[in-house]
Amino acid sequence: MIELNVQTIAFLIFAACILGGALGVVTTRNLIHATLYLVLSLFGAAGFFVLLSAPFMAAVQVLVYIGAIAILIVFAVMLTRSMTRLRDIYNRQWVMSAIAAGLLFVLLMVGVILPVWGVGGAQAGREVSEVVASTAELGTALVSPNQFVLPFEVASLLLTAAMIGAIVIARDDE
């Protein structure tokens, strides 16, 4: 039996946000509504980060995904205005996509979730840490040679390349 305390209630609310938002994204015919449902879903994910004692990740989630990416999606949708008032279903491939999504879900459950967090898994029975890791620790971990400096630098390089690419595309031909 799950103990009913503030954290459990918060977890349930956030889970409802994520699942409800995700369902809304795929069921609504209005693309702007879909984007706003996506924002709701991402909010729920930020709430999960707070529950997992990772406030830094929560703030970054809101800042990057809601403040920047969701806005960009809204922009892309608004600039294609004829797409915002869909009345008909464009194609009948929702069965295929539902099967694909279901398969992906099963694959993730069998391949990742159950072996790691399931019964007898490597991380099974591990308590959620009450200690809130400080931002300083996160920063050190990102640049320490023994930890994550390589992925960090690779990601930085990738972002720089993407930024230069964006500038080249947006530039007027001279």
Residues 108-147 vs another protein: string with x where CB under 8 A? ------------------------x-xxx-----------
Contact between 29 and another protein (CB under 8 A)? Answer: no
- Of 12, 13, 16, 68, which lies in the binding site for another protein, with binding defined by CB under 8 A? 68
SS (H, E, C) the chain: CCCCCHHHHHHHHHHHHHHHHHHHHHHCCCHHHHHHHHHHHHHHHHHHHHHCCCHHHHHHHHHHHHHHHHHHHHHHHHHCHHHCCCCCCCCCCHHHHHHHHHHHHHHHHHHHHHHHHCCCCCCCCCCCCCCCCCHHHHHHHHHCCCCCHHHHHHHHHHHHHHHHHHHHHHCCCC
User: Which one of the spans 17-25, 64-72, 89-97, 105-113 is the region binding another protein (CB under 8 A)?
Assistant: 64-72
Contact between 70 and another protein (CB under 8 A)? Answer: yes
Which C-beta is closer to another protein: that of 72 or that of 106? Answer: 72
- Of 74, 83, 114, 142, which lies in the binding site for another protein, with binding defined by CB under 8 A? 74
Contact between 71 and another protein (CB under 8 A)? Answer: yes
Name the residues that contact another protein, by CB under 8 A: 5-6, 30, 32-33, 36, 39, 55-56, 59-60, 62-63, 66-68, 70-71, 74-75, 78, 84, 132, 134-136
